[in-house]
Chains A and B, each alone.
Chain A
Amino acid sequence: MFVAGKYDVIVIGAGHAGVEAALASARIGCKTLLTTLNMDNIAMMPCNPSVGGPAKGHLVRELDALGGEMGLNADKTCIQYRMLNTGKGPAVHALRAQADKKLYQFTMKETCETQQNLDVKQLLVEKLLVENDTIQGIQIETGEIYYCRAAILASGTYLRGKIILGENSYTGGPNGQRAAEKLSSSLQTLGVELMRFKTGTPARVDRRTLDFSKMIIQPGDEEAHNFSFMSDITTREQVPCWLTYTNEQTHQVIRDNLYRAPMANGMIEGIGPRYCPSIETKIVRFPDKEKHQLFLEPEGLNTEEMYVQGMSTSLPIDVQMKFLKTIPGLENVQIMRPGYAIEYDCVDPLQLKLSLEFKKIHGFFSAGQANGTSGYEEAAAQGLIAGINAAMFVKDQEPLILKRSDAYIGVLIDDLVTKGTHEPYRIMTSRAEYRLLLRQDNADLRLTEKGRRVGLVSDERYARFSEKRQSIEETLILLKNIKINPNKETLLKLQAIGSSDIRTTTSLYDLLKRTELSYDLVQSQFELPAVSAEVKNQLEIMVWYEGYIKKQLEQVERTEKLEEKLLPDSIDYAIVPSLRDEAREKLSFIKPRSIGQASRISGVSPADISILLVYLEQNRRSGGIR
């Protein structure tokens, strides 16, 4: 057989997971191959034209801090930014942007093409070559072989993809792409267990057939935002979205045609996500709701296509047209691409380690929608981690594993490989137990150092970061050390900034705790340095929410010890005495990395954890686990 090439790392699929994986691996210094079914569809956005939102925006910021590409790419190509949840606490502020889909794609494509150490090739992978439980390479559709030391599966929704549209269905990937038909069986031959999931997308409609006067405009924020710590964009052209609502007439059309919906006629077997229900599901499940909102979102600057957010559907095209026309502003709507559902194979993520490597196949990693997640951001985050860890594998170094207290990325991966998922998994802020610590405003402070360790953080970024961190630390010391006394001069100063008198000697730190004060106000009266807006923001959050932050840090400290107690791969749970059978079974299958991870497995009780601790200690004293 013809050997077409040899690489350190091969990435299968060039969606949001694949590009991050390939870029990370190449940037760390591994000779990397990125494969795609279609060169024109690298980093394609087949569903909504947006990046970010609650928890998702956090992921992008984290990814950026670690040296990922999504944040930078979004900042170069997005056409509207909004900070969501600004009325709530800083932990849940969330940046969301509308992307120009094609611009996003081709900018990312260029980044990949010009990346040193990285080859991008259009080809279809059909078979994985594995020997001695270790990945050796891939074989492609046309028979050629590429050898590698590590490979990453980032196949998205393409594995045995099936498009369902009303009464019709056909084999294929999203947006009229080919599906990967044979890779699934290659995986199954290797003993990988697959699940069947489903997701859907709404119609794209012609902007010129919409009447925006009947809709509510949703403009971007006036203040400029960026995802990336390294983006300095202060002005950009912003395009609005539009809000309108369904009504009883819409619902009636859908109800009348429910019998033609694939979910009703049994054509869909896969499990769909609850947070992204089709409009027909919404109407069945919440019959009392009089109207559902929908957003019309631009797909880009140079297209008339508009995305109908909130109206995901797999009803036949005639029904789609009929119900859309009942909506104010859409009376004359023309559909350019209909909505559809897609079913696909994905990997049961319980088979993966926290590094995203398969437990049973050394050097083989999996990331993104192929792991049962949904969303570009979730995919990108996993891709980055898989890319880093494939590189670490090649270099025979420790993998990068983020804890739940480090990052949303840690929460995402820990949830997947510890609890598994029964529907396409979406990250949410409510999944993070240490939400107050994992803010989007401090992603750089949490993770830049870790990105630096693996070699993804450039000198430029690191210098910039170090400067910010130093400024925060120094100013914090000043705030604590500068003390003011209750006297006439102080009184006047406090009056000037609308604050009441102090009774005892008070540090500026404590003064800043007053709800009516800000760093700027305190600085206007007392001797403090002028600092950047980001530094001010950090200081204020640290001071204002000190009590709550402390509480969460204590919680982290309590559980941290258990996270650090590692469970060797070689433990045979069958011979650990006194474990309950259910615990024994789950532990054997999931093979948790640490006692902490073990404690989060459903069916493993605190008593089982105690027993494991005793067992570990017993083995430590008797000279290690055999």
Chain B
Amino acid sequence: MQIDTISAIATAVGEGGIGIIRISGKQAVDIASKIFQAKNHLPMRDIISHQATYGSVIDPVNSTIIDEVLCIPMYAPHSYTREDVVEIHCHGGSLPLRRILELTFKAGARLAEPGEFTKRAFLNGRLDLSQAQAVMDIIRSKTDASLRMAVGQLEGCFSDKIREYRHQILEMIAHLEAAIDFPEDDIDEVATDEVRDNIIILREEMVKLLKTGKTGRILREGLETAIIGKPNVGKSSLLNLLLNENRAIVTDIPGTTRDIIEEYANIGGVPLKIIDTAGIRETEDIVEQLGVEKACSYIERADLVLALFDFSREISSEDKQILALLAKKEALILINKSDLEAKLDIAYIKSVLPNHKIIEISTISEAGLPELETAIVDMVYSGQVQAEEGAFVNNVRQIEALRQTDEHLEEALQTIHREMSPDFIVIDLRSAWEKLGEITGDTVGEDIIDQIFSQFCIGK
């Protein structure tokens, strides 16, 4: 039997109206009971095995409802892994899935390794011998795919930052350890005030990274997306297409601005938070007065701009104004109504915005939609990542690792506050350092000892 309880999203993101979070392990039912409340107020433990119960997932910290769900416990050994398993079926959008998954972590689960459910199923005797080879292949292929994607996403400043934080922690550890292992060498005693201040600064930076870091923020809050274009160009149709009501990947989540209901579209695992959806719907059919001014303010706010142009009409002065606004912005140029007769001068658009990607679409025939999805995902992940389950999961992994790192740093501060000696502070700092290593895939090795010897002149 495995000791810890794992959880993960069991459905591919971006497909299907329903998403499933699977929790497996001894604590599965306890964890579910912390976050799930049945409509009929039946306690989790009293729900009969394999019976779906309707209710809500609630964040235990602030009691807000995350989503309406069906919760199904499956008691050992009658489950996929032969352990206690709880499945939570929620809406298929990535945001509710991610939020529920995070709640399971806070309640005591850890994110499953690639292929881990299948591995447990095999180890617990659920799968027969002939499937062993397949299980090993699954572990290998899923891990490799997930690593490739993690590496892709980690390119650039995010991974640099993580490595930098790691190094800062390592320096603190090395100093503390050097003084412990070489008490008779003349190493400056470590001022715990200094360590405390360093930790505080580090935590602030990490919080900032989580908030402003591209992937982190996008997954936390969604990618702010503006749909702009002159009246009747098809903004509303595109919106509906992206929200794809039929596939039920829409969730209404009260946004940061209290009054506005924001809608999220899930494009290949990337949540798009579309700006002022209500506004788009209202103004599309009536003569729009303030088209360009509005577009201007949207563009300023947005992470991603979807600019619509009408294939069947000549370029207007409004179009030209919009094109001018887009010069310094990440935007996708969408030529709508590509099924109609061409009147638009695409060459002109190309000459004004030579570096922007242009995609021809039709909101009626849905032509060009897959290309649009790919383009969006590529923009978010700098073209490194295929929009598979892993892209999303790896981000969850990173965010979770950062969150746990922060917890360890918090504990280090408490240890300092309690006036414990340096060897206790090191316990927490080491945990934080190891957690960050999980993000970058750097393994724990001789690093600490190497650092001690490069930083201090030690030895008799």
A binds B: yes
User: Are B422 and A309 in touch, CB under 8 angstroms?
Assistant: no
Query: In the complex, given contacts A274-B459, A428-B181, A435-B423, what are 10 additional A-B residue pairs having Cβ atoms less than 8 angstroms apart?
Result: A54-B181, A54-B182, A88-B180, A91-B423, A282-B459, A295-B460, A428-B177, A430-B448, A436-B423, A602-B445
Tell me the bound Cα distance from A618 to B114 in angstroms. 19
Q: Digit string of A413-434 for contact with B (CB within 8 Å is 1, else 0)? A: 0000001000000001111010
What are 21 of the A-B contact pairs (CB < 8 Å)?
A54-B181, A54-B183, A89-B420, A92-B423, A274-B458, A275-B453, A275-B458, A276-B459, A292-B457, A310-B459, A310-B460, A430-B177, A430-B181, A551-B427, A561-B3, A577-B133, A578-B139, A602-B443, A606-B113, A607-B139, A614-B123
Give CA–CA (A615, B133) in the complex, Å.
8
- Residue A55 CB within 8 A of the other chain: yes
* B114-159 contacts to A (CB < 8 Å): 114-116, 119, 122-123, 129, 132-133, 135-137, 139-140, 143-144
Residues of B within 8 A of A552 (CB): 427
Within 8 Å by CB of A289, from B129, B133, B457, B459, lies B457
Which residues of A lie under 8 Å from residue B129 when comparing CB positions? 618, 621-622
Residue from B422, B426, B452, B457 in contact with A285 in the complex, judged by beta carbons closer than 8 Å: B457
- State whether A430 and B424 are in contact (beta carbons under 8 Å apart), knowing that A310-B459, A611-B140, A613-B119 are contacts in the complex: no
The answer, yes or no, to whether B46 is at the interface (CB within 8 Å) is no
CB pair B3 A558 closer than 8 Å: yes
B137 partner residues in chain A, CB cutoff 8 A:
577-578
Residue of A nearest to B438 (CB): A606
User: How many angstroms from the CA of A286 to the CA of B185 in the assembled complex?
Assistant: 14
- Given the known interface contacts A88-B423, A430-B177, A618-B132, the answer about A613 and B459 at a Cβ–Cβ threshold of 8 Å is no
Establish whether residues A617 and B123, one from each chain, have CB atoms under 8 Å apart when the complex forms: yes
Min CB distance A277 to B, Å, is 5
Closest to A580 in B: B140
Name B's A-contacting residues (CB within 8 A).
3-4, 113-116, 119, 122-123, 129, 132-133, 135-137, 139-140, 143-144, 177, 180-186, 420-424, 426-427, 430, 443, 445-446, 448-449, 452-453, 457-460
In the complex, what residues of B have CB within 8 A of residue A276's CB?
A: 459-460
Decide yes or no whether A470 CB sits under 8 A from chain B: no
List the 4 closest pairs (A to B, CB-CB), nearest first: A607-B143, A618-B132, A578-B140, A286-B457
> In the complex, which residues of chain A have a beta carbon less than 8 angstroms from the beta carbon of B3?
557-558, 561
Q: How large is the interface on A (under 10, 10 to 19, 20 to 34, 35 or more residues)?
A: 35 or more
Bound complex: CA A87 to CA B136 (Å): 51
Q: Contacts of A257 on B, CB cut-off 8 Å? A: none
Chain A residues packing against B (C-beta within 8 Å)? 48, 54-55, 84-85, 87-89, 91-92, 94, 273-277, 282, 285-286, 289, 292-293, 295, 309-310, 312, 419, 428-431, 433, 435-436, 545, 548, 551-552, 557-558, 561, 577-578, 580, 602, 605-607, 610-611, 613-615, 617-618, 621-622
Q: In the assembled complex, which residues on chain A have CB atoms less than 8 Å from the CB atom of B457?
A: 277, 282, 285-286, 289, 292
Residue on B nearest A607 in the bound complex, by CB: B143
Decide yes or no: A614 and B184 within 8 Å by CB, A309-B460, A431-B449, A558-B4 being known contacts. no
A610, B177: Cβ atoms under 8 Å? Answer: no
* Contact (Cβ within 8 A) A614 B180: no
Q: How far is the CA of A610 from the CA of B349 in the complex (A)?
A: 54
Shortest distance from the beta carbon of B412 to any chain A beta carbon, whole Å: 12
Q: Given A85-B180, A92-B180, A285-B457, do A610 and B116 touch, yes or no (CB 8 Å)?
A: yes
Whole-angstrom CA separation of A87 from B179 in the bound complex: 11
> A89 vs B459: C-alpha distance in the bound complex, in angstroms?
23
In the complex, which residues of chain B have a beta carbon less than 8 angstroms from the beta carbon of A606?
113, 143
Q: Are A611 and B136 in contact (CB under 8 A)?
A: yes
Closest beta carbon of chain B to A21's beta carbon, Å: 27
Contact of A614 among B136, B420, B458 (CB under 8 A): B136
Instruction: Please indicate the chain B residues that have their CB under 8 angstroms from the CB of A615 in the complex.
Output: 132, 136
Cα distance, A615 to B3, chains bound together (Å): 20
**Is A274's CB under 8 angstroms from B427's CB?**
no
Residue numbers in B under 8 Å from A545 (CB-CB) = 424
Q: Which residues of chain A are near B452, meaning CB under 8 Å? A: 430
Contacting B459 at CB < 8 Å: which of A55, A277, A558, A578? A277
Task: Write the chain A residue with the least CB distance to B119.
Answer: A610
Select the residue from B114, B181, B182, B185 with max chain A CB neighbours within 10 A: B181
Residues of A within 8 A of B460 (CB): 48, 276, 295, 309-310, 312
Say whether B186 contacts A293, CB under 8 Å.
yes
- Distance (Å) between the CB of B118 and the closest chain A CB? 9
Residues of B within 8 Å of A54, CB to CB, are 180-183
A286 to B459, CA, bound (A): 12
Q: Given the complex of chains A and B, what is the CA–CA distance between A578 and B143 in angstroms?
A: 11
Complex-state Cα separation, A92 to B421, whole angstroms = 10
Q: How many Å lie between the Cα of A289 and that of B421 in the bound state?
A: 27
User: Once the chains are docked, how many angstroms separate the CA of A54 from the CA of B187?
Assistant: 15
Q: Which residues of B contact A293 (CB under 8 A)?
A: 185-186
